[in-house]
Amino acid sequence: MREKILDKLRRVSSTPNIPPAKVALVAGATGLVGGLLLKTLLDAPDYARVYALTRRPFGREHPKLANRIVVFARLAEQIKGLTAQDAYCCLGTTIADAGSQEAFRAADVDAVLHFAKAARAAGVARFIVVSSVGADSGSKKFYLRTKGEMEEAVSDVGFSSVDILQPSLLLGPRPSLRPLEITGRIFAPLINPLLTGKREPYRAVPAETVARAMLGAARAARRGLNRYTFSSIRQLAEVRAPQPNPVQAPKKTSG
């Protein structure tokens, strides 16, 4: 049944005036943004196949979904033979959850870079990754410095396009809410309007908006290195799939 549905998707996507459906790689699909992104991609007509690369099975079923269990340090060899057009990265943790700065760096830089290099080897031209507002490799703050180093490393892999989303506090359901997130949920409606001008990028944003913006970045198809914060993330979230051009009937000629 799954293969029949996939064959139908491929046939539809190959008809005139409709862009061909693509293949996507996703890392971090078990997280807040990653889970919402995966649902967004599976519902979108843009992709015929979505590979979710995870450290453990997550028990989700969908005709377009393939779940690959991987070790990110050996990712290139584990997905050898796959071909894809776009890669989405939602990998990340907190220092509290990681337990140390070394473990945090392993998740937020090393694993991301392993994924980026494996995706490039799979033919991916566009890499879309979630970072953080204020990311800067020269920052005195470890978190922002690490995120900045990740951005620089990914940008040097050799993709034709790199889209970096830099949200501030993410709003959305988690199995266990952190104190900052509880505070953010309560006060975001009051604080967000006060963050204007140069402070606007620090507005809290729903994780669902970020997930839709990641797909929007692929649809916008901008080349080169692109960074997005609050306002541009919201704009990307509204980008719709390309619509097929109506088939024009041939004009009648006299004679």
Q: Catalytic site residues?
A: 143, 147
- Residue 40 near residue 52 (C-beta atoms within 8 A): no
Q: How many other CB atoms are there within 10 angstroms of residue 145's CB atom?
A: 15
Please identify which residue in the block is written with the tokens 């998740």: 107
* Residue in 2, 80, 79, 69 with CA at minimum distance from that of residue 30: 69
Q: Is 206 exposed, middle or buried (0-12, 13-18, 19+ CB in 10 A)?
A: middle
CB 48 within 8 A of CB 64: yes
